[in-house]
Amino acid sequence: MKALSIHAHFYQPPREDPLTGELPVEKGAAPYHDFNEKILAECYRPNAILGNFEYISFNVGATLMNWLQNNDQVTYRRIRAQDKAAFLRSGVGNAIAQPYFHVILPLANRREKETQIHWGIMDFVKHFGRIPKGMWLPETAVDYETLSLVAQHGIQYTILAPWQARENGLDPTKPYLVKLDNGDEITVFFYHDSLSGGVSFHPNMTENAYEFVEKQLESKYFGAQDQLMLIASDGELYGHHKKFRDWFLAYLVQSACQQKAIEITTPGLWLKSHPPKETIGIQENTSWSCHHGIARWSEDCGCTPGNGKWKRVLRQAFDRLASTLDDVFSSEGTLLGIDPWEMRNRYISVLSKELSFTDFLSEFSLNAYPSWKVHQLELLMRSQFERLRMFTSCGWFFDRFDRIETRNNVAYAAHALWLAYLATGINLSDQFEEDLLDVHRSDISISGQEIYQDSIEKISRYYDRKKIISR
């Protein structure tokens, strides 16, 4: 049997103002209000109309899926319905989960990984109404601790790049089993390198679905054994990055492959009848988008032009702030006699609007506290939300720290420490501001410290106005 699976990673970073929760006008998205609306019109909505989600493997980041739910109910319902149709047909849905925020998990501590994975799974359940079998790791960045935590949460498989395998001689047409420390195991599918790269970066390859199957795909199969060709790419490729590629995808998975007796499937469905027979190791601290492992998000590795030394300084500043915020949060939890990290993990029930904050506290027998204490706890939980969001990978992905992605991360960090200050009176601003002074580059007129100062001044004005209004 010859089979093909297309995996599309659909994602938009959190670009909303941390104070208002609203996306600002983005000039580059004109005539649309912002890039979410632009990409919705060019990619998400057309692919949903064409029914492509019923035939591909896909993940939709939590920040994007929640935005779709609030801004385009028709597209949101179509995506869910197409996943459900696949599930009813085969017993396996097409959608898989991803961690809640798009963070580089190997750079996170164990508790942060735990929360991101748990929140991602619970958000998936909220939208798709079932437990996910697979999980996409942001940038496919991986280490054994991440895989162990994913497996402990019941995830059966993930998708990696072929160069993330430790052994040579990888056969990307079959799944492999990765053995983990605590006796757990997880299946890994490796996508096909040249096909995935061609689809992503060579526009001429995706002009005609029938020619793609005949000239590119068929020749990759060999022998008589069952083989799965897995192509992985950003989902935005299909219509946003490349015009009309939504139609290419539709013809590919709904017509062209069938004409050549190539079965359209997904990793989850393939796994039902083709369990892994071989084990393999993984190269820790690797990803699909950095030639130097995961250095792109922590140091000057050469993947981006210019001087990238600011990345290490920014990462260290954020790590120090996160550690201090965690200490503040943990101390409060200890005083209350609760496990603060369990509380943080279960906070997803508030984020998903399953519980009010008061009902959430009642699960920890904390609802009898006076209103000022309840307010303090709510501020600390919101601070932890921002502390997790501030590590969104886009802030380190590009070459310049004065881009909107890094500015947003700094704004989330500023809001996190401000909320912690409102809750406890502990000032974390001075140290963070000092750490950001060394985020600079000769060809950028502003420093990281100045970006932070802009953010914290805006936050201060916002809360001052709230005080006046509340009086």
> Mean pLDDT throughout 230-255?
98
User: Are residues 247 and 347 located together in one domain of the fold?
Assistant: no
In a domain, 458, yes or no: yes
Tell me the pLDDT tens digit for each residue of 343-353.
999 999 999 99
pLDDT at residue number 182:
85
Same domain, 192 and 325: no
According to the model, what pLDDT value does residue 469 have?
Answer: 58
Is the residue at 288 inside a domain?
no
Question: Do residues 259 and 301 share a domain?
Answer: no
CA–CA dist 109, 387 (Å, integer): 13
pLDDT of 333 higher than 80 = yes
Are 130 and 269 in the same domain? yes
The Cβ-side half-sphere exposure at 324, using a 13 Å CA radius, reads 20
Question: How confident is the model at residue 467, as a pLDDT?
Answer: 64
- If asked whether residues 373 and 446 sit together in one domain, one would say yes
- Report the alpha-carbon distance of residue 174 to residue 276 in Å, rounded: 7
Same domain, 372 and 424: yes
Whether 451 shows a pLDDT value over 50: the answer reads yes
User: In angstroms, rounded to a whole number, what is the distance separating the alpha carbons of residues 384 and 111?
Assistant: 12
Does residue 448 have a pLDDT over 60? yes
The answer to whether residue 118 is domain-embedded is yes
The model's pLDDT over 352-379, given as tens digits with 9 standing for 90+, comes to 999 999 999 999 999 889 999 999 999 9
What CATH number is given to the structural domain containing 154?
3.20.110.20
| pLDDT confidence of residue 464 | 86
Among 241, 273, 305, give the residue marking a domain's end.
273
> Residue 223's pLDDT band (boundaries 50, 70, 90)?
confident
- Please tell me whether residues 228 and 327 are part of one structural domain: no
Task: Please give the pLDDT value at position 471.
Answer: 45
Tokens (6 digits) for 441: 């580059």
Residue 363: inside a domain = yes
Q: Is it the case that residue 283 has pLDDT exceeding 80?
A: yes
The residue from 273, 288, 306 where one domain ends is 273
pLDDT one-digit tens code per residue, 313-328: 999 999 999 999 999 9
Same domain, 255 and 363: no
Q: Does residue 286 fall inside a structural domain?
A: no
pTM for the model stands at: 0.97
Tally of domains within the chain: 2
Residue numbers of the domain that contains 149: 2-273
Is 391 within the bounds of a domain?
A: yes
The verdict on 248 and 312 lying in the same domain is no
Residue 7 lies in a domain: yes
**How many CB atoms are located within 10 Å of the residue 96 CB?**
27
Determine, yes or no, domain membership for 82. Answer: yes
Using one digit for the tens of pLDDT, what is the confidence trace for 133-148? Answer: 999 999 999 999 999 9
Per-residue pLDDT at 468: 60
Are 25 and 160 contained in the same domain? yes
pLDDT tens figures, 81-95: 999 999 999 999 999
* Same domain, residue pair 308 and 237: no
- pLDDT value at 428 more than 90: yes
454 shares a domain with 337:
yes
- Residue 470 banded pLDDT, cuts 50, 70, 90: low
Model confidence at 419: pLDDT above 90: yes
**Do 156 and 146 touch, CB atoms closer than 8 A?**
no
